[in-house]
């Protein structure tokens, strides 16, 4: 996986290398050799689905309803998603059933663990807050001692709507919920699995499955619950996280340890509501203003002791020196009340910026960190805007892109530099374009973002037709970013866009790429994607149980 940190939105990165055969393996996660469940037996089971999509076609992850307005899932399921992109279906076994509409709920907020890491995977947990309280039954979570007190070999149950074919060449999914039983694995044995990632597993995760393979969760099951039987009922012990392939020998499934996160889950579900990560889109350089809102939906008064613009975070893009609090009326919040913290931020350069505030509470004994993300850019010149001939609210670029009568091309940029073209304010539908990259493999990179989240990353040359789904009700956006490598990269690399079109039909939630020609010789300088890479790249690809082999190749 490419670890370059220059990202439009660092919280949602799906870094997929189309030149590596590990891609197909990465999108394989499902219930293997399980059985179909009986309708109504699992009322807390949740399907995460893309907004404006049919539940079956739009399903990309599992989750569980844990009471009030909260859903529990894996962080990797939603790191490339906003609350505007996701809906949940609760308590429905058949996602093709017409009853799904009665059990479908809008999302209000998403809270991923602040310390979530993709490489190595850790703290893979997130809470989704719904816009209204569901009527379905909840699952009970185990307490903080449950995992350590369980015997090795304890039979557990995992379920989902994911892939049911362990082959890396084919995907076989169904609209019916399936389940399978897997035994708990000794933690030392788990960390000794001879594949990438297992040795780094800590107390926040554990393994379940069979040494010989054969039964497992797989693609599409991520985020779903791993259940512990208890006196005729079930409690949730784990969350489907990742694994080396699906149902492979000597490669157990890895699950987030719910016991380990007992306190964190309690903090996220007390009822202080806020936007954890808010995408503001493109702004011109200069001083920008933004307001963070907090709402008390708990059953108690919340005392806010301090609000600061300075907080520690792993992202190198945070610039607290450029953030000033201009107004703060957050002190004591009664039940149902809201307050606001207004800030100014000096957007002093093109590219991605992140800023936020840190909110300290006395009554909840917790700290909350709302953040905002903004891209500094300039309005594109008229020649570029004229070629974006479909509804939009603005076309922007970080440098001046060039045009001909029918094409848009990136400018010449310096080594280790980047340039981006952004279109905002697009209605629901599909944007298509012919996209070609002249570049050097392993030096130059093309990245595509939809609604602020990176959905694909391609090293080397590429040429073909790309379809970008605009799934939100309004104000969709996409960004084409080209990054030049360091010394050794050619000076004449560029991206060219032609035949850009729009339709108001949202065909799928998938990003489709159709290559323009068959594969060139693997030793050619560009490394062009061949016909065998005519694959569907899911916008939610990151939200899959993933093989951690060949991370650097993604």
What is the DSSP annotation of 390-442? SS-SEEEESS--EE-SSEEEPPP--TT-EEEEEEEEEPSEEEEEEEEEE--TT
Judge whether 124 counts as a catalytic residue.
Answer: yes
Which residues are 277's β-sheet partners?
A: 371
Classify residue 471 by burial, with Cβ atoms within 10 Å: 0-12, 13-18, 19+.
buried
C-alpha count within 13 angstroms, C-beta hemisphere, residue 96: 6
Helices (H), 27-165: 55-58, 75-78, 146-149
- What would the DSSP string read from start to end of 350-396? SEEEEEE-EEEESSS--EE--EEEEEE-EEPPHHHHHH--SS-SEEE
Q: Which of 124, 434, 444, 467 is catalytic?
A: 124
Catalytic residue (one of 26, 50, 76, 219): 76
Single out the catalytic residue among 222, 309, 418, 436: 222
Alpha-carbon span 543 to 118, nearest angstrom: 11
Please tell me the distance from the alpha carbon of residue 534 to that of residue 45, in angstroms, as a whole number.
33
Q: How far is CA 205 from the centre of its chain?
A: 19
What is the C-alpha to C-alpha distance for residues 375 and 347, in angstroms, rounded to an integer? 9
Per-residue 3-state assignment (H helix, E strand, C coil) for 134-185: CCCCCCEECCCCHHHHCCCCCEEEEEECCCCCCCCCCCCCCCECEEEEEEEC
Cα radius of gyration rounded to whole Å, the chain: 23
Q: Are 25 and 547 in contact (CB under 8 A)?
A: yes
- Residues 128/130/135/137 CA torsion (nearest 10 deg): 10
Residues in CB range of 429: below 8 A, 6 or more apart: 470, 502, 503, 504, 505, 506
The SS3 call for residue 501 is strand
Angle made by CA atoms 65, 71, 73, in degrees to the nearest 5: 110
Residue positions annotated with a catalytic role:
76, 124, 222
């Amino acid at each position: 996986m490419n670890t370059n940190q220059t990202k439009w939105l660092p919280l949602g990165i799906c870094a997929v290398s189309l030149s590596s055969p590990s891609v197909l393996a990465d999108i394989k996660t499902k219930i293997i050799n399980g059985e179909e469940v009986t309708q109504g037996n699992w009322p807390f089971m949740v399907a995460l689905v893309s907004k404006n999509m049919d539940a079956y076609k739009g399903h990309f992850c599992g989750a569980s309803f844990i009471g009030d307005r909260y859903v529990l899932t894996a962080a990797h399921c939603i790191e490339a998603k906003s609350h505007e992109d996701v809906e949940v279906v609760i308590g429905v076994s058949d996602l093709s059933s017409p009853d799904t509409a009665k059990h479908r709920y809008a999302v209000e907020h998403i809270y991923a663990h602040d310390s979530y890491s993709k490489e190595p995977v850790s703290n893979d947990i997130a809470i989704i807050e719904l816009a209204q309280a569901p009527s379905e039954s909840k699952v009970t979570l185990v307490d903080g001692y449950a995992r350590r007190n369980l015997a090795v070999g304890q039979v557990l149950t995992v379920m989902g709507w994911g892939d049911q074919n362990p082959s890396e060449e084919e995907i076989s999914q169904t609209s019916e919920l399936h389940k399978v039983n897997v035994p708990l694995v000794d933690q030392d044995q788990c960390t000794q699995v001879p594949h990438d990632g297992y040795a780094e597993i800590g107390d926040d995760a554990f393994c379940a499955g069979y040494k010989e393979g054969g039964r497992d969760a797989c693609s599409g099951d991520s985020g779903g619950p791993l259940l512990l039987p208890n006196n005729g009922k079930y409690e949730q012990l784990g969350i489907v996280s990742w694994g080396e392939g699906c149902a492979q020998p000597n490669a157990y499934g890895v699950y987030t340890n719910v016991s380990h996160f007992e306190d964190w889950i309690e903090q996220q579900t007390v009822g202080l509501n806020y936007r954890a990560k808010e995408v503001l889109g493109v702004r011109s350089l200069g001083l920008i203003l933004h307001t963070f809102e907090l709402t008390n939906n708990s059953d108690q008064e919340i005392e806010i002791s301090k609000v600061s613009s300075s907080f520690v975070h792993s992202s190198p893009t945070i610039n607290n020196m450029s953030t000033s609090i201009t107004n703060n009326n957050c002190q004591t919040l009664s039940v149902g009340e809201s307050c606001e913290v207004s800030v100014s931020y000096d957007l002093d350069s093109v590219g991605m910026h992140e800023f936020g505030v840190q909110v300290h509470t006395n009554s909840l004994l917790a700290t909350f960190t709302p953040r905002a993300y903004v891209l500094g850019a300039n309005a594109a010149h008229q020649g570029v805007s004229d070629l974006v001939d479909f509804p939009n609210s603005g076309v922007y670029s970080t440098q001046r892109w060039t045009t001909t009568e029918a094409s848009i091309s990136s400018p010449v940029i310096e080594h280790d530099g980047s340039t981006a073209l952004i279109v905002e304010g697009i209605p629901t539908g599909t944007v298509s374009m012919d996209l070609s990259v002249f570049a050097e493999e392993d030096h130059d990179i093309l990245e595509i973002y939809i609604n602020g989240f990176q959905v694909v990353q391609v090293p080397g040359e590429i040429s073909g037709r790309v379809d970008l789904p605009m799934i939100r009700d309004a104000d969709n956006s996409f960004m084409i970013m080209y990054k030049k490598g360091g010394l050794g990269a050619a000076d004449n690399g560029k991206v060219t866009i032609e035949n850009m079109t729009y339709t108001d039909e949202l065909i799928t939630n998938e990003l489709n790429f159709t290559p323009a020609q068959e594969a060139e010789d693997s030793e050619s300088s560009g490394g062009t994607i061949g016909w065998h890479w005519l694959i569907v790249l899911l916008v939610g690809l990151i939200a899959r149980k993933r093989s951690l082999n060949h991370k650097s190749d993604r």
